[in-house]
Structure 1
């Protein structure tokens, strides 16, 4: 197949969208497909980003930094420019990753060209409005989301919560497509005793968080865990709130951004993983913790509802109930036998959720979108 991939964010900025796209693009290369990538430039002059990935060309559109979060770039340009890029490549399908601004242009361009589009709903952007002090924007942002997915040939949602959320907004042709996890990289065998000793020299239980340090992640909620005896909080990641969070959590260890083997060793060396963000459509780091044999305590909203099995692989807590968060953490850090049993069950639960399996499912959705578009065009021709 010929697949145009349109990314709302991309390298060198690493996040959940970029991570999943790297896995998909590598899989398409192994299959022998032909891919063209359209993404925002990493700077106005785009002197940092590679011109190709896995041998596929990356077409960069001029971009501007998002106010308050300069690492996130917003692509400039018009629907006509995206349409020209698509027309030149003539793809069988357009994969639109976490569409909102550039993705909206891509969906319109694909529709105008009669090319099927598969839009991957990955970020609950409307929920960010209140977190960034703009609650009045939420309904307008939802209108944009509805417009994008109504015009898309097919929409893929990463969790049961996201699927029901989109159905509740009246969006049709939505299917479930979860995320894979690298169970070779993330494994209990990456446990690093030396790293643990450097972080918790007195044998403290290590409570970890991995992710962006941004408002929507609600990392400040972890302050309710700061005074639990015989524990050490470790925060892995970077973002605009790093300094504010360091002031709020003075006893925590902030490691900065980690990836690859370094992240795998850190994850496997935690005793407990916590995630307080209420806007997660999936939450890949929960799967990575589980693959590492680490139980999870996460807020009971969004993607974590599919990933955390209460009383088996971890605990969930009611959104906003930080007393529940604390009590769930206390339950596991205070009981080594239970925590280890949860960790073993967590590791077993994610076996089989590999990226090759999920990517093959994705190519099936590409074929389904192409068939839907063919039928639609045939109906229009007969009318």
Structure 2
């Protein structure tokens, strides 16, 4: 692909250390793609002869990409306007626009490119406004709004991703920084000797001498270690406005302190190699490349627990300390990490970071992002090869008696010939010939139809649907039950919504027995750029409609293997959280009800019925979600799955002590692991929760309470148990109003 990188951070001959990490990222991308860099350079950093250079007359950097430098002072509207004109010119000859660093978004105000747009963000100030100057703090809300505009925002850590997801509904992906090792790490000196016996302990810090890096605490920590009998010395690599104050503080504390000032990148590595341990009491980091590179050099680290380092700093080779903690705690961490690493070689310390954060891993991560956008059918037919379908529809069937012919024909006959569609019928644990016998000759002869055999011996729809999705090659996919059907024009309608809104998931209008299904109960009047929390997307468990195959792959969404019910709940939850979602009106997806062997509502053991609940709680991905998303999804799991499990088991004899205990266990786990998820639920809901936990409550009373909570409009169904949650999107009045509006949508 032809990639245009627009960045305000990049090395120049006059300032070779500025934006080194961006140059490293670009070099990795250039190993796979044709890259041009437009460096919107601060005028003070332009070297002689650099100003105004154009890429066609510019110079080629040794690592295989071209660079054009254009002076831009963000405070100068004329500079920003000139940069915008240049970006518009260059973007016409590119496949992907990739902006890097938040100030690179300034030339994009008021317009957007016709090509996919990726933005990479590192700015720690997004999550730590207390570290910013008053001017930057005032600009921060504007920056947050600008982050809503790119197609995908790539960030360097899960911590930063959580913050960005709070301000945008579009995809946010984690593509960590590149961490360059120095080849074979230098051997550690006397790692198994106690600190008080080993002679000098060379401690190194790398970073600007600024308040956010907290050099004062680093000095105090070394002073505390020396009071404990450790011959600790500190070398700080970097410069900044606190240089003089730090030097004075070091002299007053009586510690051996070296302040190197500005150092070329290669020289930094040499200094770290000579050190024994890395210490940085930083108060805010989105990643902390310096700490990662110290680990890659085989040196243990002690770093501020400021978000980004949590992704790679862990025992035994690293310790995190609360920012602002007293020097005693930092010294404790130094002593602990040294003891923990006594038996580790430099190579053993370096290996995890070097493997996880290589240039190849970075390039592969961005490749996936680029493919997800260039493969978007909304971008045009060029994303497909000749003869390839635009949409793959997967129909799973486990019985030749199902209405598979009707389902297939509804897709083929109801979709315009101008829309290349393919239907894959997955024959689940039955011969392909048996399913073929149930199809018409017209259908069997249609090149747009293929039959796929899938045998797993598991009575779960997850297996065949997953097999069909894995066999898909089109940029868009859709799944469909063998007794269901589409109204004419449904597929075209979905594609139209995707093109108009940039959505990666288009949820279809659902009709069951002539009645519209009121999910999801979105904000009234809202039909695109939907939010998992505000638009209650989790209530549409079935991901029916149009799904970007690249978005599915990027999100890691998978149907729950072996689940007989709820197999789509983890899939849809994860996908909706990671992708741009819209609703389609018009032609509907018609849910069939004439199958005699449907098992959706068949009572089964509570553990099996609620397997999707525990699958979500057990997923490491879930643990990284923002607390607001966790609460909203957990509220839905209580309201729909836990309470629904009671409602569908209407025979009191079914409720054995074992089943009651299992119901209570799963409910308690939800409430304990997601604090606050029951706050917006009604008084009637809490009546049922109380009965679930009380084995003395009869089964009949349990069932009566499950029915009572569904008498919508009665006083106890209208009032939340916690009045402070009355305006929560999940609170009874807001939820009921949205559900009513959804039925009329």
Give SS of 1:367's match.
Answer: helix
Give SS of 2:177's match.
Answer: coil
2:212 is aligned to 216
Deviation at 1:105, TM superposition (A): 2.0
Q: Does 1:159 align with 2:166?
A: no
Deviation at 1:206, TM superposition (A): 0.8
1:21 is aligned to 22
Unaligned runs of 5+ in 2: 191-197, 381-494, 503-583, 585-745
1:380 is aligned to 500
Deviation at 1:84, TM superposition (A): 3.7
1:232 is aligned to 233
The 5 Å alignment of 1:262-277 reads: 262-277=267-282
Whole-Å separation in 1 of the counterparts to 2:171 and 2:72: 31
The 5 Å alignment of 1:149-298 reads: 149-183=147-181, 185=182, 187-189=184-186, 203-227=199-223, 228-229=225-226, 230-250=231-251, 251-298=256-303
Give SS of 2:24's match.
Answer: helix
Deviation at 1:329, TM superposition (A): 1.6
2:106 is aligned to 104
Q: Comparing both structures, which one devotes a greater share of its residues to strand?
A: 1
Change (3 A) 1:245 1:63: farther
Choose from 354, 373, 378 the match for 1:369: 373
- Using CA pairs under 8 Å that are at least 6 residues apart, name the structure with larger relative contact order, 1 or 2: 1
Whole-Å separation in 2 of the counterparts to 1:44 and 1:164: 33
Q: Does 1:93 align with 2:96?
A: yes
1:356 is aligned to 360
Q: Deviations over 1:256-294 (max 9, x none)?
A: 233344222221221110121122100111111111110
> RMSD over aligned Cα, in angstroms?
3.4
Deviation at 1:122, TM superposition (A): 0.5
Whole-Å separation in 1 of the counterparts to 2:189 and 2:342: 18
Change (3 A) 1:131 1:26: closer
Change (3 A) 1:253 1:38: closer
Change (3 A) 1:18 1:52: farther
Give SS of 1:294's match.
Answer: coil
Contact 1:192 1:269 in 2 (8 A): no
2:397 is aligned to none
Whole-Å separation in 1 of the counterparts to 2:168 and 2:30: 35
Unaligned runs of 5+ in 1: 67-73, 194-201
Whole-Å separation in 2 of the counterparts to 1:355 and 1:245: 35
Q: Deviations over 1:136-175 (max 9, x none)?
A: 863x433223222210110011111111121233453101
Contact 2:147 2:168 in 1 (8 A): no
1:58 is aligned to 67
Whole-Å separation in 2 of the counterparts to 1:58 and 1:157: 23
Contact 1:186 1:291 in 2 (8 A): no
Contact 1:190 1:265 in 2 (8 A): no
2:125 is aligned to 125
| Number of residue-to-residue matches in the alignment | 358
Contact 1:39 1:75 in 2 (8 A): no
